[in-house]
Amino acid sequence: MQAIMETLFDIIYLTTVITLGVRMIRNNGGRKQFLLFGIMAVTLGCGDAFHLVPRAVALCTTGLADYTAALGIGKLITSVTMTVFYVILYYVWRLRYQISGKKELTACVYGLSAVRIILCLMPQNAWTSADAPLSWGIYRNIPFALLGLLVIVLFYQTAKQRGDKAFRWLWLTVVLSFAFYIPVVLFADTIPLMGMLMIPKTCAYVWTVVIGYRAMKEEH
């Protein structure tokens, strides 16, 4: 039952975000912010597919234990693409609110992203091992969480100041995604049921993409 339900959920999720992303790329009306939002959605879906597709195959065949290496590599790719996701979201913020300058802020975004990706690529992560160390799971997620916090603050403050109703809840989608993700990083190895939190985390990302798509349709 888990295999069927989880696989169906993943198919719906990947299809939804990639489809909406492609539509935004094709029908953005020349507005670069929505082109970037579409690229961001496709990056999210394609990146997650590297982990979710092997997981679905494993659940529907011989089990997760026989796909440790594939799942680990998929997690690595997803970790990198999720970092790119937030960099693109930062540029969506700049375009939507016509932000110029702020070189220090941009440098901070790139610095946190670079540290995150470098930490993800370190061999100590043991991505293809069944006993990957928790400590490195924490290390690589510290700059990621700081990047997410930065994006949360930027969208919360600016959307409120500009009275942007279309994007007024985008900050909350990022808050929810991290609120559900962090317990999985910390406790999933010892409390397997914590892995269920990835479902609402995924829904939070779908909400993010839907916010962008609806804004495009309303403003087109």
174-184 pLDDT, tens digit each: 999 999 999 99
pLDDT for residue 196 is more than 90: no
pLDDT at 174 (0 to 100): 97
Q: How far apart are CA 166 and CA 60, in angstroms?
A: 40
- The pLDDT tens digits for 155-166 are 999 999 999 999
Model's pTM, two decimal places? 0.94
Helix axes 134-162 and 103-121, enclosed angle (nearest 10): 160
- The pLDDT tens digits for 132-159 are 899 999 999 999 999 999 999 999 999 9
| Inter-residue contact 56 to 18 (CB < 8 Å) | no
Lowest mean pLDDT among 35-44, 57-66, 74-83, 116-125: 57-66
Average pLDDT, the chain: 93
Q: Which residues contact residue 112 at a Cβ distance below 8 angstroms, ignoring those fewer than 6 apart?
A: 143, 144, 146, 147, 150
Q: What band does 99 get if pLDDT is binned at 50, 70 and 90?
A: very high
pLDDT at 219 (0 to 100): 84
What is the second-level CATH architecture of the domain 2-219? Up-down Bundle (1.20)
Q: How far apart are CA 179 and CA 82, in angstroms?
A: 16
